[in-house]
Structure 1
Amino acid sequence: MGRSVVQRPGLAVGGAVLVGLGVVIALGTFDSEHAERTSTFADVDRIELATGSGDVTVRVGDVDRVTVVEKLSYRWSEPSETHTVDDSVLRLERCDAWWCEVDHEVIVPRGLAVSGELGSGSLSANGVSSVDVEAGSGDVRLAEITGDVRLDVGSGSAEFHDVDGAVVAEAGSGTLTGRELRGSVEAEAGSGAIDLQLAEPGDVTASVGSGDLRVAVPRGDYRVEGDTGSGERRLEVGSDPEAPNVLLLDSNSGDVTLLRN
């Protein structure tokens, strides 16, 4: 006897409706919306970061007020503002809504400090007075900093160029790169590399795990110290035990290179 087949058109139609509804949701409801909002403030002395995956750009302009531009990408309803000002501190925050990301661009007068925490977003700051920032997987790019720099980055990389003050920087698997440094430097990296160049003679304390360490210094007298495990040590600068400037350069399995500018 032949096997009978029972047709169920209701199930087929229902399945088609569900598939169609899924397509409508995917193409319609979940489309990203974009918005840009601008605010201006007076009497701001410091910027505090509490951001997530969004990028932050801070740059100095010929201005006497602080301008904040929020660049939003979101779904459903537009989120509320992601910045506040309290006691002369501008606080930049992540979005408080689902499916939301915000990038901040801030134009400031000279003399402002930047501090706080980043998630996976990046920070670019140019011309500010000082920076004290902790970053997760985001990158940090700094230039023309008139004061001190303190950085703690995870898997992201950090670049700091043209810094007048002292630098204290630590990285996990990220790299640290410094150019035109005029103050003392303390730098430590786990599996990342460190590459430093001094504009003026000064003290350097630097340590790497499995990454390479490279330091370039200007003419001057230096006391060179440090240990290297399984890596190579190439020193083109002689060590003077009476020198006022100390270069303490350590590595585990990475190479150490010390040379003149």
Structure 2
Amino acid sequence: MRALAALGGGALLALALTGCGGGSDASDAPAEHRSFAFSGKKLTIDAGNSSVTLVPADVKTVDVTRRVDGWVFMGTGPDAEWRMSGGTLTLRVKCDAVASNCEGQHEVKVPRGVAVSLGADNGKVVASGFDTALRLDSRNGSVTVRDSSGALDLSSDNGKIVAEGVAARKVTARADNGSIRLALTAVPDSVDTSSDNGKIVIDLPRSKASYAVTADSDNGKADVDVPTDRNSAHVVRARSDNGQVTVRSAN
């Protein structure tokens, strides 16, 4: 004890971190399951320090599976919270310590026909198979949507945005620090994308349709390889402050 007491705070912290082995991985943690009563056409999700996977399912409740793992030095955690109140599902994992590494993973099964609005403080977001509107915002993590046809409003402060197999008529994507890649399978009415620091690639379906395209970059090339018509009802906007912009026909 005297030897440990003689150590400086920095040495103690380094010793603790060495013993903890670095990062945590919640994928191997035990799974917990819970169902939340829900009625309505729009589910709001408030997530913190956790990745979230969203899928539509033939359920009447909102069904959640979570895994939580982590370590702390001189503090408490990981403390996990999941609750439903007024149509808002809260999914949070918290550690309060001098040093910590806490991680949560949540899979959320949403009743079919329900739109989702999700805000995540720290964690990636993945959604697949929706035909309803999705508004997904991660303030530190990637956002991915696959095989969906509802309107999309996607944003990330620090992470890439990917949409694959999307048949949405309206897509909005904004990244403060990350790339944007959209692969559309149906002719959209409106695509509006912007990135402060990252490239943008938009793949549009091959068809007889033409597009009113605005594509520009302050620091990078802007390539457009689709039929264009400034009077078209199909509007595509892509702007990057720092990164290449590509609007092209899908292979």
Q: Same fold (TM over 0.5)?
A: yes
CA distance in 2, matches of 1:130, 1:257: 30
CA distance in 2, matches of 1:52, 1:66: 18
Q: Which residue of 1 aligns with 2:122?
A: 137
Structure 1 residue 41, shift from structure 2 partner: 4.7
CA distance in 1, matches of 2:161, 2:66: 29
CA distance in 2, matches of 1:237, 1:110: 35
Q: Which residue of 1 aligns with 2:81?
A: 82
1:53 to 29, 49, 74: 49
* Kept after mapping to 2: 8 A contact 1:44/1:66: no
Aligned-partner SS, 2:217: coil
Structure 1 residue 181, shift from structure 2 partner: 3.3
2:200 to 210, 213, 218: 213
* Kept after mapping to 1: 8 A contact 2:115/2:133: yes
Aligned-partner SS, 1:234: strand
2:214 to 218, 225, 237: 225
Distance change (3 Å), C-alpha of 1:110 and 1:95 = same
Q: Which residue of 2 aligns with 1:255?
A: 244
Q: Which residue of 2 aligns with 1:187?
A: 173
**Cα distance per residue 1:131-169 (max 9 Å; x no partner):** 212223311111111111222223311111222222222
Q: Which residue of 1 aligns with 2:154?
A: 169
* Kept after mapping to 2: 8 A contact 1:44/1:90: no
TM-score, normalised on structure 1?
A: 0.66
CA distance in 2, matches of 1:162, 1:41: 26
Unmatched tracts of structure 1, length 5 or more = 1-13, 28-33, 112-128
Q: Which residue of 1 aligns with 2:11?
A: none
Aligned-partner SS, 1:182: coil
> 1:91-102 maps to which residues of 2 (within 5 A)?
91-94=89-92
Rg (Cα) greater in structure:
1
Q: Which residue of 1 aligns with 2:135?
A: 150
Between 244-253 and 63-72, report the one with greater CA deviation: 63-72
Unmatched tracts of structure 2, length 5 or more = 7-15, 21-28
* Kept after mapping to 2: 8 A contact 1:152/1:169: yes
Q: Which residue of 2 aligns with 1:4?
A: none
The residue type paired with residue 155 of structure 2 is: E
| Count of equivalent residues | 220
CA distance in 2, matches of 1:227, 1:39: 47
Q: What is the percent sequence identity of the aligned residues? A: 26
Aligned-partner SS, 2:239: strand
* Bigger relative contact order, structure 1 or 2 (CA pairs below 8 A, ≥6 apart): 2
1:242 to 215, 231, 251: 231
Between 130-139 and 89-98, report the one with greater CA deviation: 89-98
* Kept after mapping to 2: 8 A contact 1:94/1:101: no
